[in-house]
Amino acid sequence: MILIADSGATKTQWGCVNRDGTGRHDFFSQGYNPNYISGEDIIADIRSNLPQGFDTDAVEAIYFYGAGVTPMQYPFVEKCLRTVFGKAGEVFIAMDTLASCRALLQREPGFAAILGTGTNSAMYDGCNEGLNVDSCGFILGDEGSGGYLGKRLITDFIRCNMPEAVYKIVGKELGHSNEELLDIIYTKPFPNRFCAQYAKFIGEHLDFDPYFPALVEDAFTKFFQRIVTHYPDYTKYSFNAVGSVAYHFRPILEKVVERFGMKMGVILKAPMDGLVKYHTS
């Protein structure tokens, strides 16, 4: 059987399936961005989240797609995986952008994006990821992502840059003082996950005050201004995206997509179904 992994900044979805596409079952573990986690922790977490009775020796091949997994980190991730799945013959490692391309477009060329906890995008030639305008990660970029939405919400709260009614409910939701929020973001692990958790809160309050949909629309606008528009002839392609932020904020996203001259394409909450189809077809 083969094992397919989609590892984002927050969680990893594993799909275990036979080569002919039968007998599929999924399980989840935490996200394994190698910039934030050690090899020992990756190995321990995979083992602790394997389904009861899972036969690791039965895994013949692994296809691992990960956020933050650059080519220089492929050997590191492969070593972790081979430690757990010692009988696997093929271990394929790639960035999560290739996962989005293959899940959304299969073997057709086009444009694909990730809008989840983090952001990424790429042009796709039908087999491999091509041109990539770097999202620059949580600290420098990730415009349009859940992490970016939460970061903006917290920044506006600390600066009191929101209507009074909004300030009250946001303060209740955050549950921390300004000093505590800054300490969490600058000194604690996984600040991207901390900020991204508030994307759900934003989505639940879109009708509460115009501040919330304006915040989301501005985040998507900056994603286009700073990333998408830097792809040559980007308006020739449909806009395809995978991720919870793209999925849950689709109406606002579609408005921005059309404003920038693109047509809405495929939007998936998660790429696993598409990846299983790609690797078993």
Q: Is residue 78 part of a domain?
A: yes
Structural domain range at position 73: 2-101+272-280
Q: Is residue 128 part of a domain?
A: no
- How much is the pLDDT for 22? 86
Q: Is residue 11 part of a domain?
A: yes
CATH number at residue 40: 3.30.420.40
Q: Is residue 47 part of a domain?
A: yes
Q: Is residue 221 part of a domain?
A: no
Task: Write out pLDDT tens, residues 198-227.
Answer: 999 999 999 999 999 999 999 999 999 999
Paired with 114 in beta bridges are 120, 242
Q: Looking at the 3D structure of the chain, how many domains does it have? A: 1
Q: Is residue 54 part of a domain?
A: yes
Cα(209)–Cα(161) distance, integer angstroms:
14
Average pLDDT over residues 131-149: 89
Does 35 have pLDDT greater than 80? no
Average pLDDT over residues 124-137: 84
- Closest to 224 (Cα-Cα) out of 239, 210, 242, 211: 239
Cα(104)–Cα(274) distance, integer angstroms:
7
Average pLDDT over residues 138-156: 94
- Check if the beta carbon of residue 29 is closer than 8 Å to that of residue 11: yes
- Check if the beta carbon of residue 252 is closer than 8 Å to that of residue 213: yes
Task: Write out pLDDT tens, residues 220-274.
Answer: 999 999 999 999 999 999 999 999 999 999 999 999 999 999 999 999 998 999 9
DSSP reduced 3-state for 222: helix
Q: Is residue 215 part of a domain?
A: no
Q: Is residue 74 part of a domain?
A: yes
Residue whose token pair is 């408005």: 255
Task: Write out pLDDT tens, residues 49-93.
Answer: 999 989 999 999 999 999 888 888 899 999 999 999 988 999 999
